[in-house]
Amino acid sequence: MKNVHKLTEGVVLLAAFAVLLLMSLYLPIIGTIVTFGLPVPFMLFAAKNKRSDAAIFFVAAILISFIVGTITAIPLTLIFGLTGLVIGELIKLKKERTAMLLGGSLAFLAMFLLVFAGMNVLLNINFVEELKVVLEQSMDMTKNMLSTIDNNEAEQIIEQLEATITALETLLPSLLVLSSAMYVFIIQLIGVPIVRRFGIEVKKWRSFADISFPKSILWYYLLTILAQFVMRPEEGSFTTMAIMNLLFVLQLIMVIQGLAFIFFYSRLKNWPKIVPIAILIFTFLMPIFLYIVRILGIIDIGFDLRKRLDNRDA
């Protein structure tokens, strides 16, 4: 009876996945939103069953995606299916939501890169080169549009655009990591309430005010800045790309640390909840706030501000 129930449950979830997949493939606007729901059947099945059963479910989903959407649907199933299985497994292991975010993001990114490499080898499609072509075409169109403007102003705008495009190309690895994390965060927002509806316990998020990174992160940050000044690598080289991406990620971590400290201090002083939220919004809207919050994060890690404040108020 248990095997029959498991088989029935698997068939129902596969049918739900097939419907979601069809909607994501053939409905232009709604399909983009529905895509975030693709991992949910995998999350549900993995959270309630053994890994071997989840692997069989994954293979069956790939076969169904080939039938209902041809070979073009398989990449979606591989990326979102594996992500859902990893999150479901972490739910079964009673892990925190932060661990689900990290594990799901790694699974999403790893499968995305594998699919990307596979399409490059099998279909000779290089998305990076295609992106560069699109950006160059946009740049040419912009230059034509600016040809009627004063030369000095046009040159300044073009220089800024070229610098932005260069930065985007250099920071592409970091942007992929952030995009993966954002995707998985949205997947959790959609999927976790559904999983709970089926009676599966899912741990809550740890309070943002309690997030704190280890001191070693600060040393990595300082060493990366030092390497940038000492090595002075050539623009466009692999070393430059590695240092810039590492610096970008570490700076983002410092900003998160600074914002977490602001939320902690707000909770300590019983400020209205709107105050830290407003600071968070202004941080990403105004660059000056971004620098201040980053410095605050560095001080918090380096001098254990939260422990000092807790001890003082104890």
Selection from 142, 135, 193 nearest residue 166 by Cα: 135
Q: What secondary structure does DSSP assign to 41-57, as a single string? A: HHHHHHHHS-HHHHHHH
Higher pLDDT, 298 or 140: 298
Whether residue 205 is predicted with pLDDT greater than 90 in this model: the reply is: no
> Are the CB atoms for 31 and 25 separated by under 8 Å?
yes
> Are the CB atoms for 87 and 188 separated by under 8 Å?
yes
Whether residue 1 is predicted with pLDDT greater than 60 in this model: the reply is: no
pLDDT digits (tens, 9 = 90+) for 107-122: 998 888 888 877 777 7
Whether residue 39 is predicted with pLDDT greater than 90 in this model: the reply is: yes
The rounded mean pLDDT for the chain is: 83
pLDDT digits (tens, 9 = 90+) for 125-151: 666 666 677 767 776 776 677 666 656
What are the b/e assignments for 145-182, b being 16+ CB within 10 Å?
ebeeeeeeebeeeeeebeeeeeeeebbebbebbeebbe
> According to the model, what pLDDT value does residue 147 have?
63
> Are the CB atoms for 20 and 69 separated by under 8 Å?
no
Selection from 93, 103, 101, 102 nearest residue 202 by Cα: 93
Q: Which of 130-139, 242-251, 254-263, 270-279 shows the lowest mean pLDDT across its residues? A: 130-139
> According to the model, what pLDDT value does residue 45 have?
93
> According to the model, what pLDDT value does residue 312 have?
65
Instruction: Taking residues 26-40, report their average pLDDT.
Output: 88
> According to the model, what pLDDT value does residue 40 have?
94
